[in-house]
Amino acid sequence: MTTGCAATAINCNATANTDARRVLSLLNPAEGQYVGNMDQWDPSGTQRYHGMALSLEHRPSRGMSMNANWTWSHCTGYFQGFNTKTDQTVTVPNQPLFDKGDCDTDRRHVVTVSAVALMPRLSNNAARAVVTGWQLAGIYRFSSGTPLGIQDGIDR
């Protein structure tokens, strides 16, 4: 186990002294040396969601319907753990607001397009018995990607 950093040390954030800089090692170095990486769970925090939803419906003929929906939104909140490597703790201990950013479920654009067509009444008796009353539908959904967090190294 390496010792902690002095105020004048050059390598205070080197990977060689990572364990010495952990919270338990700083509080009690004698016992903290036996504890390695530990996640810190904080149940506090909020998320904010702002969005606008637009919808368009068109019925070009009897028995056919087309719908299009677009949602433009943004979600922000406290540390969620998206794109993390192995350490899912807050960056600055006891300051969860430091890690405020996009929610890991944030999707800025969601577009859904659907169409429904009622199957026509056919003249052939056998085909009419099989096809009549059925509907043919299709749905396409597009959404923007997840937020991206750029990180370098394991210890933040």
Sketch the domain layout of the chain as residue ranges: 1-38, 42-143
Collapse the DSSP code of 73 into the 3-class scheme (helix H, G, I; strand E, B; otherwise coil) and give the result. strand
pLDDT (0 to 100) of residue 100? 80
pLDDT (0 to 100) of residue 154? 55
**Cα distance between residue 64 and residue 79, in whole Å:** 46
Q: Is the pTM of this model over 0.85?
A: no
**Contact 19/38 with Cβ under 8 angstroms?**
no
Helices and strands of the chain, counted as H and E runs: 3, 5
pLDDT (0 to 100) of residue 1? 44
**Cα distance between residue 82 and residue 107, in whole Å:** 13
Kind and range of the H or E run holding 112: strand 109-118
pLDDT (0 to 100) of residue 80? 57
How far are the Cα atoms of 32, 114, 139 from residue 64, in angstroms, in the given order? 69, 11, 14
Residues of the chain with pLDDT under 50: 1-2, 4, 7-8, 82-87, 156
Q: Give the residue from 58, 65, 68 showing the smallest Cα distance to 115.
A: 65
pLDDT (0 to 100) of residue 83? 45
**Cα distance between residue 154 and residue 143, in whole Å:** 30
pLDDT (0 to 100) of residue 88? 53
